[in-house]
Amino acid sequence: MTVAALALEGITKRFGAVTALDDASLTVRAGTVHALLGENGAGKSTLMRVAFGMLAPDRGTVRVAGTAHTFATARGAIDTGLGMVHQHFSLVPALTVAENVALGGRGRFDRAAVAASVRDIGAETGLLLDPDARVATLPVSAQQRLEIVKALSRKARVLILDEPTAVLAPDEARELLAWVKRWAVGERAAVLITHHLADAFAVADDVTVLRRGRTVLARGVDGLTESALVQAMLGEALTVASGAPSAHDRTGAPVLALDRATVVDERGIERLAPTTCEITAGEIVGVAAVEGAGQAELLRLLAGRLRPSSGRATVPLSVGFVPADRHRDAVVLDMPLVENLALKDAAQARSWMPWPALRSETDALMSRFDVRANGPTTPMRALSGGNQQKFVLGRELAEGPVALVVENPTRGLDIRATEEVRSRLRAARDAGLAVVLYSEDLDEVLALADRVLVVHAGQVQAMPPDRTRVGRAMLGAS
């Protein structure tokens, strides 16, 4: 039996009360491509950060080519021959390709020598790059090549690629995967972190599936069926109390509507393909997607926070919106609660601010939504995450909107707060609001939604909240 290129054994990692990894393991054979699969939050990235020395595990062993290592920093991992390409590149756009490759070295910087080594790696691996090109001018696919070249220039023998196809166009993704397959021979190996089944089947020799921090499947890809893989990734549904489905009459006119709406980002890449959909009063429409599939754009179109690049969005002014990044987009931490209440649609406020009335509104909101704080003048910063979220949700519902768009509303909340938020959403639906809910927790979407919009690679498709169908569609399984 040959020695594994990389082996993680019995890794446990806790963050406070949360167990991110629970006795997880991964064995990568030399000469293979290994797909590491799992839903959002299954622990894939945490496991790889442990492997790469960016996180110290509470228990367990990291072996590279048979030798156990305890890395203090990423530097140690790099020195043993590991290389990692993060989903969010760590490149310096203003510097050239060669300069980015050389970053972190010591002594004299020999531009010509670094350029030559970039060319050598290119000739050897096919990852062609102009060493003198400024990174800011490179397309994303070339930036990704550069990240790989950076790792290779440090003599990486095991490459860990975190969601490498997420930022690429389909052709570029195919090309990259084919390259990984060609490269991982001999003593080299590649780990592909992904939630796209197709990627795994396209190039992987072995797969490991993580679910809720545990390794639930580890085997060769030969003879593995797609449904077995989906089953392993999604597991049995957690019991999220489903509650009664919508009793509201859903034959009314649509409240929110998109008509062939698209979103094109500043680099000209289409994040959302032409989408037509209608959300009517009295339903919760769940949005299921893996990270970066285009759901953020879809939600912002529906909330009236983003204008479509083409097509039409019909959205009334009174839409409540609870964005995922609360601290950045929803509140002002240094202002008191009453001012955070007034923040909503502050652009519409005229002449004098009715603070006494707003204070009693804040009081009412606090008691109605069970926001635990001293009073309306308490700064937002002093509230726990759960109370902040309840406050934001209450604020967005306060003025009787006709629709509500919520994004990851229970992330980071404890069980009690989570349950409260969920029942609020149901109550809003029952009161006749059109509700759109995205959550990275698929079971939460399924438990609350009357129907589901699945977003995969910018394509939106509607379906009933059937776990297997939704799960397969969002992972891109045929």
Residues that bind other proteins (CB under 8 A): 73-75, 86, 89-95, 99, 102-111, 305, 321, 323, 328-335, 339, 342-353, 355, 379, 381-384
Question: DSSP character for 253?
Answer: -
Closest CB to other proteins among residues 106, 267: 106
- As measured in angstroms, the least distance from the Cβ of 96 to other proteins is 10
Which strand ranges, in their side-by-side order, compose the sheet holding 59-64?
18-28, 6-15, 59-64, 67-69
Element (H, E) at 385: helix 385-398
- As measured in angstroms, the least distance from the Cβ of 294 to other proteins is 19
Residues 148, 153, 154, 157, CA torsion sign: positive
Contact residues for 139 (Cβ-Cβ < 8 A; gap 6+): none
- As measured in angstroms, the least distance from the Cβ of 18 to other proteins is 13
In this structure, the dihedral spanned by the alpha carbons of residues 428, 263, 329 and 135, taken in order and rounded to 10 degrees, is: 150
In this structure, the dihedral spanned by the alpha carbons of residues 380, 384, 386 and 391, taken in order and rounded to 10 degrees, is: -20
Closest CB to other proteins among residues 112, 415: 112
- As measured in angstroms, the least distance from the Cβ of 366 to other proteins is 18
Closest CB to other proteins among residues 401, 471: 401
Q: Are 386 and 414 in contact (CB under 8 A)?
A: yes
- As measured in angstroms, the least distance from the Cβ of 87 to other proteins is 13
Please tell me the distance from the alpha carbon of residue 431 to that of residue 121, in angstroms, as a whole number. Answer: 62
Looking at residue 296, its amino acid is A
Closest CB to other proteins among residues 143, 418: 143
The first and second tokens of residue 22, run together, are 């629970």
Closest CB to other proteins among residues 38, 53: 53
- As measured in angstroms, the least distance from the Cβ of 225 to other proteins is 39
- As measured in angstroms, the least distance from the Cβ of 359 to other proteins is 13
Q: Are 160 and 171 in contact (CB under 8 A)?
A: no
Looking at residue 265, its amino acid is D
Residue 14, judged by CB atoms within 10 A of its CB (0-12, 13-18, 19+), counts as: middle
Closest CB to other proteins among residues 289, 392: 392
Closest CB to other proteins among residues 126, 354: 354
Closest CB to other proteins among residues 104, 375: 104
Element (H, E) at 347: none
Closest CB to other proteins among residues 155, 250: 155
- As measured in angstroms, the least distance from the Cβ of 2 to other proteins is 32
Q: Are 280 and 250 in contact (CB under 8 A)?
A: yes
Instruction: List beta partners, residue 460.
Output: 455
- As measured in angstroms, the least distance from the Cβ of 253 to other proteins is 24
The first and second tokens of residue 262, run together, are 């698209």
Q: Which of 237, 277, 243 is nearest to 454 (CA)?
A: 277
